[in-house]
Amino acid sequence: MQISAMSKLNRVAKAKKISLGCAAASVAVVAGGVAMAPTASAATTAQSGSVNTWINESLKVMRANGIPGTYNGIYKNLMRESSGNPNAINGWDSNAAKGIPSKGLMQVIDPTFKAYHVPGTSWNIYDPVANITAACNYAAHVYGTIDNVNSAY
């Protein structure tokens, strides 16, 4: 997801006097900064916590499973990909055009999430810890660590 799309969405939200805090109102971001209600599975994922909590929980699971990565590497990628919205959906890129949009904090597509899911985490792609951990597992296999990812992956 592009930061400019999130910025545009925030401007629209401010004009309409609504808040787009992390998971507040369960808004998903799509092309052009347009907001839409997330899918039923995302809507039913009422997440408590914060980006800090989710990253630290993911790091615990990653350490237990030998998956490399640091808080800073995860945070950098998470903020670039979703701006901290666990219900973010990318409805405009090549994956979305194929019917498999990127979802969640780390913008993972369903097949990648399923292939790199880490035992002990939820099978719900919108679950922040499961999404982060699967993305970091994927990044470890392809790039060595999430810390080596500096753009869309």
pLDDT digits (tens, 9 = 90+) for 100-146: 999 999 999 999 999 999 999 999 999 999 999 999 999 999 999 99
Query: Is 79 within the bounds of a domain?
Result: yes
Query: Is 90 within the bounds of a domain?
Result: yes
Read off the pTM.
0.71
What is the SS3 assignment for 144? coil
The number of domains in the chain is 1
Query: Is 93 within the bounds of a domain?
Result: yes
Query: Is 153 within the bounds of a domain?
Result: no
Q: Is 68 exposed, middle or buried (0-12, 13-18, 19+ CB in 10 A)?
A: middle
Query: Is 102 within the bounds of a domain?
Result: yes
Q: What is the CATH number of the domain that holds 128?
A: 1.10.530
Range of the domain at 34: 3-148
pLDDT digits (tens, 9 = 90+) for 134-152: 999 999 999 999 999 998 8
